Structure 1
Amino acid sequence: MPLSPFPPDGLAEPSAPHRVLPLSAYREAIGLDEPFRPAAAPAPADRLDDHVRTVLRLLGGAPAVSRLGPRAHSLLDPGAADATIARRLLRTLLTVRPPGPLPGGAAELIDAVLGAERRLRPAVAVRQQLPSIAEEFPRAPYRAARHTALWRGDITTLAADAIVNAANSALLGCFRPLHPCIDNAIHSAAGPRLRDDCATVMTLQGTSEPTGTAKITRGHHLPARYVLHTVGPITDGRPGTGDAAALAASYRACLDLAAEVPAIRTLALCAVSTGVFGYPKDEAAGVALRTVADWLAAHPGRFDRIVFTVFTADDETAYRGALGTAA
């Protein structure tokens, strides 16, 4: 049975009239300008499995467990799973869990687990490790080549000041267990506080997020301090002029919003709308490159580096091809 992106917690239905909430209306409510301080230190590597199993025991009675199906309680028996399966079960349970307080002690243990896992994943530093497009592709005619980079990898390991998440209109993350979308990956690495922040923003807004807009939260357990969440267009077949305009609006919204936060000097963009939203990758790459170049030309010096982040070989091929034609 499909999982609703809106948990039963009083959030507005998607059919409500759109009202875009400005940053000033939610900045303080989510503590955007406060450094993230986890409730516990990262777990030692030799204790990580014990922490995972303890969290599973604490969360085993949560109402969200029933959403995993009739075998959920037996699957969530920490003694019945090896370490890999136990960690996958924890990720699954946090994916389907609605925002809200965790059982006593669980928040500290989850922080310890996520902190340890972040230490085990090498982070990629934008400033030190990523060459600009001008350096990597010296013949590319791209006019923003000196201020941008193209990088293929897992955006949840990128140590930029902010990264972009391709979200749905509920803006609460993906509720489908182990779904291979960027929304799921970012929320899983950041931890459940990210969904709580998004829920706070959406409750204040009182309506679903329109296409072509963006919101910002802290990154919590991500190497990036901030996450920008944007809703791109959903296409069926070849995109039209309106789809291209909506995709460009998503990128502009992220750049405009990031520019409101002085601490953001490096920003990693994902390939918005090219996954389950169906936008053809080659055309989307051209829209992204042109939109960023136009924005940077209008705001010289605002950012030190914008990274076009891709995950698959097809994504990278699309951007390499678009670089040869983007003005």
Structure 2
Amino acid sequence: MSSPDIVKVLSYLVQESENTSLERYTAAALESSEVYTQLQLLKYMLTVRSPDPPLPTEINQDINRILFHRSHNKLFTSRHSIKEKLRFADLSPKLSIWKGDITTISDVTAIVNAANSALLGCFQPSHRCIDNIIHAAAGPDLRRACYNLVEQRDFTQEPVGSAQITPGFNLPAKMVIHTVGPSLLPGSEPNQEEISQLAACYTSSLAKLEEQEEDGNDKSIVFCCISTGLFSFPNDIASNIAIESVRNYFSEHPHSSISEVIFNVFTETNLKLYRQNFAEYQEREILVPIEQPIFETHHPIIEVSKKLIQDTDYLIVSAGAGLSASVGLDYSSNEVFDKHYRNFKKYGPTRLYETIGHQWPSKLVEWSFWFHHYETVSRWPASESYQKLVRMLNCATNSFVITSNADGFFIKNGYDPKKVYSIQGNYYWIQCPIKCTQDSFRPMDAELQKVKPYIDLSTNLLMDSSHIPRCENCGHIMTMCLRGGWKFNDTPMETEKKKYKELLNKIVRENQKAVLLEFGVGLNTPSVLRWPNEELASENENNFTLIRVGNGPSSTVPIEYIEKENFIVIDADASEVIDLLVS
């Protein structure tokens, strides 16, 4: 079967929309777009699209294949793995609290969607409401199923407190229950009618699930925090209503086929509230703990990846900015800059990314920044994630690292520097800006030690311009040894560069197996790691398997590769995946 044709899908949706602002998305423009851009446009088009007319079968099938792949690249959480389960003292169903993305919980009969009264999902792409999140993950068939429900009824607005049910489509949950909660003015307190309406959302959802044959007497349901988002119901009152409504339902239905209720929260505020409520119920002996068998969570994509890593001849870790960001050195973070570089904010940058190519007011300020940055990175604490990754590399039969990060974190955390190719350069070196000779570079650390007595610790500024490093051969003011054009001197990395190229040639020549384990490689410099990794795996399917780990752009591969066995995507934080791979 050929791969899904996302260009054909998007061309159809753009043309169908008759939206003149989208005319720039010609087939040629879509073809040349990065896959992340294509997926963002697909999400936008499906969010704003009416469920009628139905999508053509071929277009709909391709959309579902793409969305199924996106959904199942995430790390699912089985309900069986949730710890600290309780039950009401006089009732059997289990209760628990779980903080996470409701579209990733598995082994459940149904999740509950806080819908609007039209019951067709949210049509505003920028909304981060639960309605939008669930519809985006489930796909267009969910909106069509809701539309069919709407068409069957005699009223135009779904009553507040009622519930409807549909299949889950591309979600791990088998079904979605849609309920409309009461909407309050921001900051207002609910009246008795609104309290009753919210309680009805919970009891109606349970009753609707009870009617289903799915999962027999072991039905399970996951409730989101209904009405507490855009509908402005106070969180503390809502959490009490949720628990009490569930208790009342099971008191009235002692022989219910529902065996488990999970309260899903997304914020720390709601997590704290539910935990407080559970604790109070336990103190009053209304809730009692349940002894749970130990359940080991198995993520299929993690298990597949582990097996590939264990069986491979070569493990090559390919690391981008997302890996260091996962351990705190996040170049896109305003907080990191505020904490470590506040003295340099007055010169314009507010994030580390903005210092790349920045025009500083003088060479004195520029070198003051680089000395401070080098010292900050050098003092960055050793990372448990990097250390685990290094242990994994050292356990492999053969291993190597290629990284676009200049921070030297692999070496800091104990990996052999002779097996690390820093393709974009390294903060450890400074070089002549005109590369007057191939050997016109020297260690940054020695330079810093010389100028330390002349740095004002209160401002982080070098106090005397005579201490700005200059080339010993031509006298030019030195620059960092970082890739930025033809003047970049990669001589300090030349040995590791040759080793890496020889390694790739050997793997193909001797028909060996290699895993390219890629972390946090996004779209800032895709030609450095991202595209070469894709090319290696696509042109040498029998030799290279690409395992791409990250969030956002770092969790996408071109659509033509999504169903290939040697392309695996894990849409999750790098540190979490490393923990799972070494566990």
Partner amino acid, structure 1, of 2:247: A
Q: Distance in 1 between matches of 2:91 and 2:182?
A: 25
Task: Report which stretch shifted further, 102-111 or 196-205.
Answer: 102-111
Aligned to 2:81: 129
Q: Is the 8 A contact 2:93 2:258 kept in 1?
A: no
More strand by share: 2
Aligned to 1:5: none
Aligned to 2:24: 74
Q: How does 1:144-223 map to 2 (within 5 A)?
A: 147-159=94-106, 160-207=108-155, 208-223=157-172
Q: Is the 8 A contact 1:187 1:195 kept in 2?
A: yes
Partner amino acid, structure 1, of 2:190: P
Aligned to 1:242: 193
Q: Is the 8 A contact 1:134 1:145 kept in 2?
A: no
Distance of aligned partners of 1:275 and 1:246 in 2 relative to their CA distance in 1, 3 Å threshold:
same
Matched, 1:318 2:265: no
Aligned length: 271
Q: Is the 8 A contact 1:51 1:113 kept in 2?
A: no
Q: Distance in 1 between matches of 2:148 and 2:61?
A: 21
Query: Cα deviations across residues 82-131 of structure 1 (Å, max 9, x unaligned)?
Result: 221211110010000000321462112101101211220122211x2112
Q: Distance in 2 between matches of 1:52 and 1:311?
A: 32
Q: Is the 8 A contact 2:93 2:261 kept in 1?
A: no
Aligned to 2:261: 306
Partner amino acid, structure 1, of 2:259: D
TM-score (norm 2): 0.44
Q: Distance in 2 between matches of 1:324 and 1:123?
A: 27
Query: Cα deviations across residues 151-177 of structure 1 (Å, max 9, x unaligned)?
Result: 000111111110100000000000001
Q: Is the 8 A contact 2:97 2:263 kept in 1?
A: yes
Q: Distance in 2 between matches of 1:234 and 1:288?
A: 16
2:178 is paired with a residue whose SS is strand
Q: Is the 8 A contact 1:268 1:306 kept in 2?
A: yes
Aligned to 1:20: none
Partner amino acid, structure 1, of 2:125: P
Matched, 1:85 2:37: yes
Following superposition, which runs of at least 4 residues in structure 1 exceed 6 angstroms of deviation? 141-146
TM-score (norm 1): 0.77
Q: Is the 8 A contact 1:282 1:321 kept in 2?
A: no
Q: Which has the higher contact order (CA 8 A, sep 6+)?
A: 1
Matched, 1:108 2:108: no
Q: Is the 8 A contact 1:234 1:273 kept in 2?
A: yes
Distance of aligned partners of 1:108 and 1:73 in 2 relative to their CA distance in 1, 3 Å threshold:
same
Deviation at 1:145, TM superposition (A): 8.9
Gaps of 5+ in 2: 287-583
Q: Distance in 1 between matches of 2:251 and 2:65?
A: 43
Partner amino acid, structure 1, of 2:266: F
Q: Distance in 2 between matches of 1:52 and 1:81?
A: 11
Q: Is the 8 A contact 2:14 2:25 kept in 1?
A: no
Q: Distance in 2 between matches of 1:52 and 1:151?
A: 35
Aligned to 2:251: 297
Matched, 1:273 2:223: no
Partner amino acid, structure 2, of 1:220: F
From 230, 248, 254, the equivalent of 2:205 is 254
Matched, 1:62 2:16: yes
Aligned to 2:173: 224
Aligned to 2:48: 96
Q: Distance in 1 between matches of 2:150 and 2:14?
A: 28
Q: Distance in 1 between matches of 2:273 and 2:247?
A: 17
Q: Is the 8 A contact 1:58 1:103 kept in 2?
A: no
Q: Distance in 2 between matches of 1:72 and 1:142?
A: 58
Q: Distance in 2 between matches of 1:235 and 1:323?
A: 26
Distance of aligned partners of 1:155 and 1:145 in 2 relative to their CA distance in 1, 3 Å threshold:
farther
Q: Is the 8 A contact 1:269 1:307 kept in 2?
A: yes
Deviation at 1:325, TM superposition (A): 3.4
Aligned to 2:378: none
Deviation at 1:321, TM superposition (A): 2.1
Q: Distance in 2 between matches of 1:244 and 1:75?
A: 48
Partner amino acid, structure 2, of 1:158: I
Q: Is the 8 A contact 1:142 1:323 kept in 2?
A: no
CA RMSD of aligned residues (A): 2.2
Q: Is the 8 A contact 1:217 1:227 kept in 2?
A: yes
Gaps of 5+ in 1: 1-40, 136-140
Q: Is the 8 A contact 2:179 2:205 kept in 1?
A: yes
Q: Is the 8 A contact 1:133 1:145 kept in 2?
A: no
Q: Distance in 2 between matches of 1:112 and 1:201?
A: 25
Distance of aligned partners of 1:146 and 1:214 in 2 relative to their CA distance in 1, 3 Å threshold:
closer
Aligned to 1:7: none
